[in-house]
Amino acid sequence: MTNDQTMFLIICSAMVLFMTPGLAFFYGGLVRASSVVSMMMMSIGSLALIGVMWVIFGYAMSFGGAGTGQFIGIDGVFGIDLAKIGLEDVVAAAQGGDGLGLAFAGFQGTFAVITVALISGAIADRARFGSWMVFAGLWATLVYFPVAGWIFNFTVTDGKITDGGWLVYNIGVMDFAGGTVVEVASGASALALALVLGKRFGFTKGMHAPHNVPLVLIGVAILWFGWFGFNAGSELAADGIASLAFINTLVAPAGAMVSWAIYEQIAHGKPTSVGVGSGAISGLVAITPSCAYLDPVWALVLGLIVGVVCALAIELKFILGFDDSLDVVGIHLVGGIVGTLFIGLFGQNVGLFLGFGWDQLGKQALGVVVVMIYAFLISYALGWVIQKTIGFRVTSTDEIAGVDLVQHGETGYAGTDPRWTWKG
């Protein structure tokens, strides 16, 4: 069974890792043509940086033993299990024939990578690449690695959680694949950065239509494919729970696509491909925490609800006056909140509307609030310090010219570089 589990996790890890290039396509297609390289580089840069950090010390911070109610690592606030630095303990186990721990470390590392990359969508068109990389490294260290330990690091004995991070063990928050750790944390952090960097030059509703819709849809397809590994893989074994997570990862985004399209038809007179794609992402976000806790019919209901809720939520930036460029807040923060709370309403054996009382709903709400506030405050502080020191935002002149050429010295499409001239 261990070898089967190991292979299952390796396959799922590869699928989840593929999500980051998928996100690069999705975000890259949504921005204007002069920002596509910058947008994709922020995702790919996150993959490189967080991959290195995870191996060196990230895994040790998130999974440094099973200390009751731990905050980070095993020895209190900043305790780290030195045996896990550089994946030393799981590498030793793998050399002894047990590769499951090493596969698990790799699987969780892919989660860290995609979570950091998600935030970048809020600051499209106006961020310095070097400053983004500084933020990404600090954010992973201060936000993602600890929060992953709060939720994902636990010990199960006879089917019950007997030890682990304080949110999952002490509070009893249920989050199967990362509704709080991935979605709420990245969404709250995206809001913080959007506030720190301010609005794009000339910010208005509809200021920049997606420059490449096919690229957006390719990104959606890759993300959806990878999300099956994300959710089903979180069971760590190819069993009935993984199958439930798999089917719910099919039905929830499908429902969200339908409801988002209907909303667009009613509100704007026609459904759009970008809207339907965004609906799929909102459904995937919402089902992430709840994929193993809902019957498929309730997963469908969740998808139908969250498609409309997120379609409405992305309008908040115009009402409240913040520039979340690619709707990370409206889709990931709001979708993550809805999906996490939905467990307390319709989750198997815990849902309020299934006769199990208010207890789990309260725990879910507390988990959302804790992660949201923690991630927002740390992210705002990091963004503010970076902006005041090395600078986070490009100048308005550079923004208008396009960050691709300014930050990377290249453009996304042949013939669009103003330095290029025809000499035929």
Are 27 and 207 within 8 A, CB to CB? no
Looking at residue 273, what is its pLDDT? 97
Looking at residue 123, what is its pLDDT? 97
If you count them, how many residues does the chain have? Answer: 424
Are 417 and 410 within 8 A, CB to CB? yes
Strands in 77-180 per DSSP E: 154-157, 160-164
pTM: 0.94
> What does the longest C-alpha to C-alpha distance in the chain come to?
76
Angle in degrees, CA 28, 184, 214, rounded to 5: 20
Q: What is the DSSP string of 204-271?
A: -TTSS--S-HHHHHHHHHHHHHHHHHHHHGGGSSSSHHHHHHHHHHHHHHHHHHHHHHHHHHHHHSS-
Q: Which residues contact 72 (CB under 8 A, 6 or more apart)?
A: 61, 64, 78, 79, 80, 145, 146, 149
Q: Measure the CA–CA gap between 33 and 37, rounded to whole angstroms.
A: 8
Looking at residue 241, what is its pLDDT? 97
| Nearest C-alpha neighbor of 32 from the set 196, 246, 211 | 211
What single-letter amino acid sits at 327? D
Residue spans of the domains in the chain: they are: 2-407
Average pLDDT for runs of 10 along the chain of length 424: 87 98 98 95 98 94 67 50 79 82 95 98 96 98 95 83 86 96 98 96 76 97 98 96 98 98 97 98 98 98 98 93 94 98 96 93 98 98 98 92 91 69 46
Q: Measure the CA–CA gap between 197 and 200, rounded to whole angstroms.
A: 9
Which numeric CATH code is attached to 2-407? 1.10.3430.10
Looking at residue 98, what is its pLDDT? 81
Q: What is the DSSP string of 165-176?
A: BHIIIII----S
Tell me the β-bridge partners of 165.
70
| Nearest C-alpha neighbor of 126 from the set 223, 226, 199, 212 | 199
